[in-house]
A and B are shown apart, each in its own frame.
Chain A
Amino acid sequence: MSIMTDVSPSAARRRSVPRFVWVIAAIVALYLVAGVITPSFATFDNMLVIVRAASITGIVAIGMSYVTISGNLFALSAAALGAFLAVIFALAVGHLGFAAGLAATLLVAILAGMAQGLSISVVGNPIITTLAFSTVFRGLAALFSGNSIVRIDSDIALALGTGRPLGVPTQSWAFIALALVSWALIRRARLGRLLVLSGANPQTAIASGLNVRLATVVAFVALSVGVAIMAVFTVSQFSQAKADLFAGYDFDYIAAVLVGGIALRGGQGSPLQAALGAILIALLQNFMLLNGFTAGLRMTVVGGLVLLATGAFHLLQRRLR
């Protein structure tokens, strides 16, 4: 049920094709087309690159799906928060060691999520609020790092960032684990149900005695934890952090959620869809890079894809209503 998103009576009878099937089809099609057109695409090394990139984007996109499902559209602060948390992690590892650094990063992430969630539940406009928070996070990242590169020298971190247990990068293990845990949380946990119901209809949720404010806070904490995981992996992989990390990545996260077909009106969809969307976006970005697309063209394509996906899913939903 968590993936079925149609609302028309006819769809309920005919069982129309769920959105995630389309996304999988698009992924397979893009993979085949790219493999044929670009020989360097289907090589082992490139696959590794794609899998890592998809995992990193996907971890945040899964976090973002909590926000969207809880009826709060999306956040524009994920990339800036990532930079801030990366700096915190690098500094904390340098001074306190790996484990304490990890704990400190998670703690800061949870606090950042709560601050955003509480503000949004008061203000009621997630986009503007997270836009403001993004500059604050970016500023804090510069403040803490002294606006220079913070290097770390930790073997554990390096192993975490570059290891490949069973031939699969650690990032991807984390991605898969997070996708499954999130799927189970949204589908089975009481808290997940609270998120889904609050997103589906906040008024009915309040009238049913549910704590919609809590749902918003939980969603943003989930996103922040996802961002923290990404930041930790990235810092570990490259052994450094700086304040302008992840700049411009916000749109990839949002695009992943939208292309995955999670309805922006909230209360529908599953984190797995965001994960699939992230894979699709990573494939597309990699394909465009290999073919020497300029940054402008890549950006235009992703922007166009976002517009197309929102417009199309929106119209689809409206027609079915």
Chain B
Amino acid sequence: MLRMTNISKRYGATEVLREVALEVRSGEVMALMGENGAGKSTLVKILAGIEPADAGTIEIAGEPVTIRSPRHSQAAGVAYVAQELSIVESLSVAENVFLGDTDAGLFRSPRSLSTKARPFLLKVGLEQVDPLELAENLSVAERQLVEIARLLSRKARIAILDEPTAALSDAEILRVKGAVRTLADNGCAVIYVTHRMAEVFELSTRVTVLRNGRSFPSIETASLTVDTLIEHMLGRKLEQMFPARATRMGESVVELDQCIGHGLLAPISLSVRRGEILALAGQVGSGANAVLRMLAGVLPVASGTMKLRGAAFAPHSIADSIAAKVAYCSDDRKRDGIFAVRSVPENLSAPALDRVSRLQMISPVMESRHTRGIAELFGIDLAYLTRLAGNLSGGNQQKVALGKWLGIEPDVLLVEEPTRGVDVGARAEIYRHLRSLAERGLTVIFASSDTQEVLGLADQIATFYHGRMVRVVSAESSTPESIVRDVIHPTLAA
């Protein structure tokens, strides 16, 4: 039904996909697997018309097709459930089911739409939801199910589901699985992107693995075990990019006691020492980021207590946590990590304007000293200091986004996905700098879905699955396999 060949895509200097091939037959469920950053989402976005490919061909039912927009893709019979939701909150559930569907006719009444939507909602187990209800009143899980209902309502030849279960509970996942089976039984070619092993083995007929932007020939699921599949995903990474682990650690700096916040289903208790690097390992929706956001003052703590340097710590805003020498770097660098249209020195001094100004005036001498200090600590090439931050490569942007926090001399650095969109060379450098900062007494807590990074950089690893902390282990006693199991399939890990 679908044949994608030689698909290539790069974002700036980073090559995301390199001559990737994917082939799916009617009536089968093809699982698309790979570590974060392997290129799965990019590949399906190309097929869905959301991202253009740089090169490659797409054939559907033997016909070559050009897909340049979501509408082209839909016209070719592709339906897509995105990882980021595409539910319009201010519309009703029924309207969201038929959003973008022009076959439903020009005239539509809320009633008729709702009658038409009901069978599809039933199929995904949303029979208790009123189709006239506004989507903003639905939980994240229910919205995800509405998207799947939308997919069912389209007469699609090819269905793409990009991590449809990341935010769902077990009971809801059962419904998604049922819907996917129905799709395949009706002759649809299903591409199923997931991180959850159990779903792969239950649903898929074949698996295509992506690794570092390259694809490998598909494998029959029946011929795989959990272990062999994990091996395929990890491959053999030869680069020695990680620095040595901590030699000495101080007293406990950050403590969480039975903390719960939005995104967590069970209370978390953790303790992190001075000079320690703690990894929070987990996939999207696992709750790992929630822990960082509570500490940063972005997410309110619903219950439980946090302590910083032995004293109670309850930040209400980022400014609070900065004042307490806790720095936070989110995973969306473009959105809130850098000032793309300003120069690198201006970026680096932004959180520490006090330290570079005298009598309310910025001192060029102090700013330049400040900038050079950070540049040295974080390995930013001095030649870049005259550039705008937006003109740097992803790796250097990340160095700027992280490095700017050194200016406030933080005690704790909270980082989400420290090397997302960063090339291999810059990665190794960032790891080295983070480690050397930890050696000087900085406590680093980072959330990551990259197993190698978690294992290589951290001293301790807390694994997260589905809004719960699975356990805390020392990095030394862990293997890639044990971590991957914990974060994608904890049932077998016990």
Residues of A within 8 A of B (CB): 1, 5, 7-9, 12, 188-191, 193-194, 196-197, 200-201, 203-211, 263, 265, 267-268
- B66 on the A face (CB < 8 A): no
Complex contacts, B361 vs chain A, CB 8 Å: 188-190
Distance to closest chain B CB from A182 (angstroms):
14
Residues of the B chain whose Cβ atoms lie less than 8 Å from the Cβ of A190: 353, 357, 360-362
Instruction: Say if the beta carbon of B314 comes within 8 Å of chain A.
Output: no
Residues of B within 8 A of A9 (CB): 391
Across-interface contacts of A201 in B (CB, < 8 A)? 336, 338-341
B346 interface residue, CB < 8 Å from A? yes
By the criterion CB–CB under 8 Å, are A193 and B330 in contact? Answer: no
A residues less than 8 Å from B362 (CB atoms): 188-190, 193
Q: How far is the CB of A266 from chain B (nearest CB, A)?
A: 9
| Bound complex: CA A5 to CA B340 (Å) | 11
Whether B219 sits at the interface, judged by CB under 8 Å, is no
Q: Which 5 A-B pairs have the closest CB atoms?
A: A209-B322, A203-B336, A200-B339, A207-B336, A208-B351
User: Which of A194, A196, A197, A206 is within 8 Å of B336, CB to CB?
Assistant: A206
The 8 Å CB contact of B353, one of A7, A194, A265, A268, is A194
Distance in Å: Cβ of A166 to nearest Cβ of chain B: 30
> What are the residues of chain A within 8 A of B404 when measuring CB–CB?
208
> Is the CB of B174 closer than 8 A to any CB of chain A?
no
Query: Is B339 within 8 A of A12, CB to CB?
Result: no
Further 15 A-B residue pairs, CB within 8 A, beyond A190-B362, A207-B330, A209-B318: A7-B341, A7-B390, A188-B362, A196-B342, A197-B346, A197-B350, A203-B335, A204-B350, A205-B350, A207-B318, A207-B328, A209-B322, A211-B319, A263-B341, A267-B342
B337 within 8 A of A: yes
Closest to A191 in B: B360
Say yes or no for B388: interface residue by CB 8 A criterion. yes
Kindly report which residue of chain A lies nearest to residue B363, judged by CB atoms: A188
| Binary contact readout B386-399 vs A (1 if CB under 8 angstroms, 0 otherwise) | 01101100000000
Contact (Cβ within 8 A) B388 A7 = yes
In the complex, what's the smallest C-beta–C-beta distance from B414 to chain A, in angstroms?
Answer: 12
Q: Is B343 an interface residue (CB 8 A)?
A: yes
Complex interface: chain B residues within 8 A of A193 (CB)? 346, 349, 353, 362
Task: Bin the interface of chain B by size.
Answer: 20 to 34
Return chain B residues, CB-CB under 8 Å to A1.
Answer: 343, 346
A207 touches B391 (CB 8 A): no
A203 to B336, CA, bound (A): 5
A194–B350 Cα gap in the complex (Å)? 8
CB distance from B8 to the nearest CB of A (A): 21
**Residues 381-440 of B contacting A (Cβ, < 8 Å):** 387-388, 390-391, 404
> Which of A191, A200, A211 has most B Cβ within 10 Å?
A200
CB distance from A191 to the nearest CB of B (A): 7
How far, in Å, is A19 (CB) from chain B's closest CB?
Answer: 14
Measured between C-beta atoms, what is the minimum distance from B458 to chain A in Å? 24
C-alpha spacing A194/B360, complex, angstroms: 11
CB neighbours (8 Å) of A211 from chain B are 319
Cβ 8 A contact of A204, one of B323, B328, B338, B343? B338
B318 and A206 within 8 A (CB): yes
What separation, in Å, do the CA atoms of A205 and B342 have in the docked complex? 12
User: Chain B CB within 10 Å — which of A7, A209, A211 has the most?
Assistant: A209
In the bound assembly, the distance between CA atoms of A12 and B390 in angstroms comes to 11
Q: How far is the CA of A4 from the CA of B116 in the complex (A)?
A: 56
Q: Do B341 and A200 touch across chains, with their CB atoms under 8 A apart?
A: yes
Nearest chain A residue, comparing its CB with the CB of B337 = A204
> Which residues of B299-349 are within 8 A (CB) of A?
318-319, 322-323, 328, 330, 335-343, 346, 349
Q: What are 24 pairs between A and B in contact, CB < 8 Å?
A: A8-B391, A12-B387, A12-B388, A12-B391, A188-B361, A188-B362, A190-B360, A190-B361, A191-B360, A196-B346, A197-B339, A197-B346, A200-B339, A203-B335, A203-B336, A204-B335, A204-B338, A204-B339, A204-B350, A205-B339, A206-B336, A207-B318, A208-B322, A211-B319
Q: How far does the Cβ of B124 sit from chain A's closest Cβ, in whole Å?
A: 34
Identify the closest chain B residue to A209 (Cβ).
B322
- State A271–B244 Cα separation when bound (angstroms): 51
Say whether A204 contacts B391, CB under 8 Å: no
From 430 to 464 in chain B, residues with beta carbon under 8 angstroms from any chain A beta carbon are none
When distances are taken between beta carbons in the complex, the residues of chain B under 8 Å from A268 are 341
For window 273-319 of B, CB contacts with A under 8 Å fall at 318-319
Report chain A residues within 8 Å CB of B346: 1, 193, 196-197
CA distance A200 to B340 in the complex (A): 7
Expressed in whole angstroms, the minimum distance between the Cβ of B322 and any Cβ of chain A is 4
A267–B360 CA distance with the chains assembled, in angstroms: 20
CB A8 to nearest CB in B, in angstroms, measures: 7
Chain B residues with Cβ under 8 A from A203's Cβ?
335-336
A284 to B354, CA, bound (A): 44
Which residue of chain B has its CB nearest to the CB of A185? B361
How long is the Cα–Cα vector from A1 to B341 in the complex, in angstroms?
11
Listed residue (A12, A211, A268) with the most chain B CB atoms within 10 angstroms of its CB: A12
Report the nearest A residue to B328, measured CB to CB.
Answer: A207
Say how far A214's CB is from chain B's closest CB, in angstroms. Answer: 11
Known: A190-B357, A193-B353. A7 touches B340 (CB 8 A): yes
Residues of chain A within 8 A of B360, CB atoms compared? 189-191
B339 A267 Cβ-Cβ under 8 A: yes
Q: Which residues of A contact B328 (CB under 8 A)?
A: 207
Most chain B C-beta atoms within 10 Å of own C-beta, residue among A9, A201, A204, A263 = A204
A188-B362, A196-B342 known; A208 vs B350 contact (CB < 8 Å): yes
Give chain A nearest CB distance to B415 CB in angstroms. Answer: 13
Chain A residues near B364: list those with CB within 8 A: 188
Contacting residues, chain A, for B318 (C-beta < 8 A): 206-209
Measured between beta carbons, the chain A residues less than 8 angstroms from B387 are 12
Closest to A207 in B: B336
For B349, the chain A residues whose CB sits under 8 A away are 193
Closest CB in chain A relative to B362 CB, distance in Å: 5
With a cutoff of 8 Å between Cβ atoms, the chain A residues found around residue B388 in the complex are: 7, 12
Measured in the bound complex, the distance between the Cα atoms of B391 and A265 in whole Å is: 17
CB distance from B383 to the nearest CB of A (A): 11
Q: Which residues of A sit under 8 angstroms from B322, Cβ to Cβ?
A: 208-209
Which A residues lie within 8 Å of B390 (CB)? 7
A9 to B340, CA, bound (A): 12
Question: Which residue, of B318, B339, B351, has the highest number of chain A Cβ atoms within 10 A?
Answer: B339
Residues from chain B with a CB closer than 8 A to the CB of A189 are: 360-362
CA distance A208 to B318 in the complex (A): 8
List B contacts of A196 (CB < 8 A): 342, 346
CA distance A204 to B342 in the complex (A): 12
B339 shortest CB reach to chain A, Å: 4
Q: Tell me the minimal C-beta distance from B296 to chain A in angstroms.
A: 9
CA A204 to CA B405, docked complex, whole Å: 12
Q: Which of A5, A194, A196, A265 gathers the greatest number of chain B CB atoms within 10 Å?
A: A196
**Contact residues, B57-101 vs A (CB, 8 A):** none
Residues on B with beta carbons closer than 8 Å to the beta carbon of A7? 340-341, 388, 390-391
Contact A209/B319 with A12-B388, A188-B362, A267-B342 known, Cβ cut-off 8 Å: yes
| Cα–Cα distance between A13 and B340 once the two chains are bound (Å) | 16
Q: Give the CA-CA distance A153 to B362 in the complex, in Å.
A: 44
Residues of A within 8 A of B342 (CB): 196-197, 200, 267
* Contact (A207, B337) CB under 8 Å given A190-B362, A193-B346, A193-B353: yes
